Amino acid sequence: MRARITTVFACQSCGAVSPKWLGRCPDCSEWNSYVEEFRGERPAAAAVSASSPISTVVSDPETRIETALPGLDRVLGGGIVPGSVVLLGGEPGIGKSTLLLQVARGVARASGEVLYVSGEESASQVRLRGERLGIREERLLVLAETDVTRVIAECEARPPSVVVVDSIQAVRDPALSSAPGTVSQVRECASALLRWAKARTVPVLLIGHVTKDGSLAGPKSLEHLVDAVVTIEGERGSSRRIVRATKNRFGPVEELALYEMTGAGLSEIANPSAALLAERRAGVAGSAVAAAREGSRSLLVEIQALVGASSAGSPRRVALGVDPGRLALLLAVLEGAGVALSTREVFASCAGGLDIREPACDLAVVAAIVSSARNAPLPGGAVAFGEIGLLGEVRTVPAAASRLREAAALGFTIAYLPAGNAADAAGFPEIAARPVARVADFLKELDRVRSEK
């Protein structure tokens, strides 16, 4: 006999319970805090011992499933871990369905059947997208379904190697009265799929629509539940897409892959540094190249700054793709070193839509600001890296050799780097190392270069 399951609405703030949804909690006065939850008896699990000695528990998730997209595999830490649940988040229209259909093809080709559950589009719409991508795999099965219990029944009836659910906002558990896409539904459906994934050691990839303003909040509430969160982003009007992991129980975070949305799906950009620098105009004041690290790789990115006259009132400080807190710190350090900026507006950005939070980019940010403030371009072929401390000291950074190798590979010839990393430059005869110990020394060095011209 199936146990009776009832649902109630519970305040997520104080735990008060109500049989119906309330806009405001009568106990703690919180607004919009009621979420539908299951109560009462759930069917008890069969009384079979499932415990096992720790020595026999399989700990090695190294039998990973490759997606045939090397960049995404790297972002995941080497492919998909069996039994893991991955959430792919991104704005509507950014390319989530495209990416996972390509993944589905890769897995179907190499590993086995893939079930692609489409809750948003009909099977024929999925097929149309597949045709555009040139996908004809026999082992790629499409199921147009929104009832999560039927999705799981299909998975049980014909267990695939990988399940894709497009999207978690489109599926629903009929036992809940809430509408699809609400926090209750999203959470319950994801939990049900997660239980299935763990029980059968089959990975489930969930698509979640997320907007920057947070207006589609459902998938956000899943981040603690899933094993990995991968995001796909892109600037408006640009075909470049950045795929990265923001959470990963089975691999590193901050690993990154660049893709180009083409007429035939997403294609990986093989040399990200070259692509990021392609639009750069050398010899322009306010532009500097940072040798940054993203995950396990080095990446050259352009940092731009614009220092302008201030209007009345407090001058604006705008950071795009660079850490606003660090920008404030760097401006204070520069002020202390004699660069008058307190009354001027400062804009600093990382070009290419990248978000670089690494302190090692400090020196390049400073270089771009000084270059703009003095209207003096930096020497061509120069890169910079180094973290700057509150006292104006240029601090040693990790992986200097890897940064220099990337710079050398792209033809750069000068590197401004922390004095503490000077020894790392020994292996790169093609690069003239300019070690700097303090911001003041760096400013002097830039003055020297200018006077030589």
Site residues, ligand TYD (CB under 6 A): 90, 92-98, 129, 132-133, 261, 263-265
Q: Which is nearer to ligand TYD, 267 or 402 (CB)?
A: 267
Residue 409 touches which member of Mg ion, ligand TYD, none, C-beta under 5-8 Å by kind:
none
Burial (CB < 10 A; 0-12, 13-18, 19+), residue 413, is middle
DSSP for residue 223: T
Q: Looking at beta carbons only, is 33 or 231 nearer to ligand TYD?
A: 231
Instruction: Point out the residue whose Cβ comes nearest to Mg ion.
Output: 97
In 10 A of CB 7, how many CB atoms?
18
Shortest Cβ 96–Mg ion spacing (Å): 5
Which entry of ligand TYD, Mg ion, none binds 133, CB below 5 to 8 A by partner kind?
ligand TYD
Closest CA to 154 of 124, 126, 182, 116: 116
For residues 77, 267, 87, 257, the Cα torsion angle rounded to the nearest 10 degrees is 40
Indicate which of Mg ion, ligand TYD, none lies near residue 95 (CB less than 5 to 8 Å, by partner kind). Answer: ligand TYD
**Residue keyed to tokens 């540094």:** 273
Q: Which residues, in sequence order, are CB contacts of 122 under 8 Å at separation 6+?
A: 144
Dihedral angle, C-alpha 418, 421, 427, 428, nearest 10 °: -10
Q: Which does 129 bind (CB under 5 to 8 A by kind): ligand TYD, Mg ion, none?
A: ligand TYD
In the list Mg ion, ligand TYD, none, the entry touching 218 (Cβ below 5 to 8 angstroms by class) is: none
Nearer Cβ to Mg ion (220/450): 220
Measured CA distances, 185 to 7, 190, 250, 260 (Å): 12, 8, 27, 33
We find the least distance from the C-beta atom of residue 236 to ligand TYD, in angstroms, to be 12
Query: CB-wise, 129 or 395, nearer to ligand TYD?
Result: 129
**Segment 93-132, which members bind Mg ion (CB under 5 A)?**
97
CB of 442 to ligand TYD, least distance (A): 43
Give the max Cα distance, the chain.
Answer: 88
Q: Are 430 and 408 in contact (CB under 8 A)?
A: yes
Residues 148 and 100: beta-carbon distance below 8 Å:
no
Phi, psi of 311 (to 5 degrees): -80, 180
Which residue is listed with tokens 């929104």?
Answer: 146
Contact 79, 73 (CB under 8 A): yes
Residue 240 site contact among Mg ion, ligand TYD, none (CB < 5 to 8 Å, cut-off depends on kind) = none
Own/partner contacts of 235-244, CB < 8 Å, gap of 24 or more, are: 235/353, 238/353, 240/269, 240/275, 240/352, 240/353, 241/94, 241/95, 241/266, 242/353, 242/354, 243/71, 243/72, 243/75, 243/99, 244/75, 244/294, 244/295
Q: Please report how close the Cβ of residue 98 comes to ligand TYD at its closest, in angstroms.
A: 3
Give the range of 89-97, 128-136, 293-301, 360-368 binding Mg ion by CB under 5 A. Answer: 89-97
Binding letters toward Mg ion, positions 50-79, x by CB under 5 A: ------------------------------
Residue type, 262: T
Minimum CB–partner distance for residue 99 and ligand TYD (Å): 7
Q: Is there binding between residue 7 and Mg ion (CB under 5 A)?
A: no
Residue 190 vs 368, nearer CB to Mg ion: 190
Alpha-carbon distance of 442 to 414, in angstroms, equals 13
Stretch that binds Mg ion, among 48-56, 90-98, 231-239, 337-345 (CB under 5 A): 90-98
- Chosen from ligand TYD, Mg ion, none, partner binding at 264 (C-beta under 5 to 8 Å by type): ligand TYD
User: What is the smallest separation between the CB atom of 217 and ligand TYD, expressed in angstroms?
Assistant: 17
Tell the smallest beta-carbon distance from residue 171 to Mg ion (Å): 13
- Using omega within 30 degrees of 0 as the cis cutoff, is the peptide bond preceding 55 cis? no
Q: Which is nearer to Mg ion, 101 or 350 (CB)?
A: 101
> Which is nearer to ligand TYD, 61 or 95 (by Cβ)?
95
Minimum CB distance to Mg ion smaller for 206 or for 419: 206
Q: Which residues bind Mg ion (CB under 5 A)?
A: 97
